């Protein structure tokens, strides 16, 4: 199963203070590699993401997961269960997307109404995009390890 970690905004920096977040995010993306193919992609705006989603081809359509404070909050174990269920159902491509600074527009959410998708929340707090990407990458790695019984999760 292919995983894509997408966000609306500029490409992550290669140097400077924010590059530390990118290095940590990449660490988790690399750790996910043995479990799933994974890539990170930046989009200039929501329209570019929706257009890209429309071009994704496979036996099954790409399944978008929009990170949004209005979404469903899942524990690490519940996220792992959800991820495993999508895998077992034959999903080929999951796209986890962090929206623009002012949140997803009603138009984007409406555009996805006709297809399966998930609004996922890390809670009502607002966090910087770089931090949200890091948290998402770590939680996806944690979900992968939970599914295979790896001791990384360990209930903490």
**Residue 131, domain CATH:** 3.40.1280.10
Rg (CA), the chain: 15
- Name beta bridge partners: 66: 97, 119
- Name beta bridge partners: 41: 6
Neighbours of 21 (CB within 10 A): 19
- Residue 118 CA neighbour count, 13 Å, CB half: 16
Number of domains in the chain: 1
- Place 18 in a pLDDT band, splitting at 50, 70 and 90: low
Asked if residue 153 is part of any domain, the answer here is no
Record the pTM: 0.91
What values do phi and psi take at 144, rounded to 5?
-60, -45
CA distance 65 to 86: 12
Helices (H), 89-153: 106-111, 129-148
Please check the confidence at residue 86 and state whether its pLDDT lies above 90: yes
Asked if residue 154 is part of any domain, the answer here is no
Asked if residue 30 is part of any domain, the answer here is yes
Query: Burial letters for 4-18: b for 16+ Cβ neighbours within 10 Å, e otherwise?
Result: bbbbbbeebeeeeee
Average pLDDT value over all residues in the chain: 90
CA distance 27 to 4: 15
Asked if residue 156 is part of any domain, the answer here is no
Asked if residue 85 is part of any domain, the answer here is yes
Domain of 55?
Answer: 2-148
CA distance 61 to 22: 28
- Tens of pLDDT, residue by residue over 24-43, are 999 999 999 999 999 999 99
Asked if residue 68 is part of any domain, the answer here is yes
Asked if residue 101 is part of any domain, the answer here is yes
Q: How large is the angle between the packed helices 76-88 and 129-148, nearest 10 degrees? A: 70
Asked if residue 102 is part of any domain, the answer here is yes
Residue 16's pLDDT is what? 67
């Amino acid at each position: 199963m292919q995983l894509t970690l997408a966000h609306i905004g500029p490409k992550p920096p290669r140097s400077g203070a924010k590059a530390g977040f990118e290095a940590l995010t990449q660490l988790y993306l690399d750790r996910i590699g043995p479990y799933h193919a994974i890539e990170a992609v930046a989009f200039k705006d929501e329209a570019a993401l929706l257009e890209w989603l429309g071009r994704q081809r496979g036996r099954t359509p790409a399944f978008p997961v929009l990170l949004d404070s209005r979404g469903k909050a899942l524990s690490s174990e519940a996220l792992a269960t959800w991820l495993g269920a999508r895998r077992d159902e034959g999903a080929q491509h999951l796209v986890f997307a962090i929206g623009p600074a002012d949140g997803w527009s009603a138009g984007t959410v409406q555009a996805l109404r006709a297809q399966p998708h998930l609004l996922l929340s890390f809670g009502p707090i607002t966090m910087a995009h770089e931090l949200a990407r890091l948290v998402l990458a770590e939680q996806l790695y944690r979900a992968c390890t939970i599914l295979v019984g790896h001791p990384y999760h360990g209930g903490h």
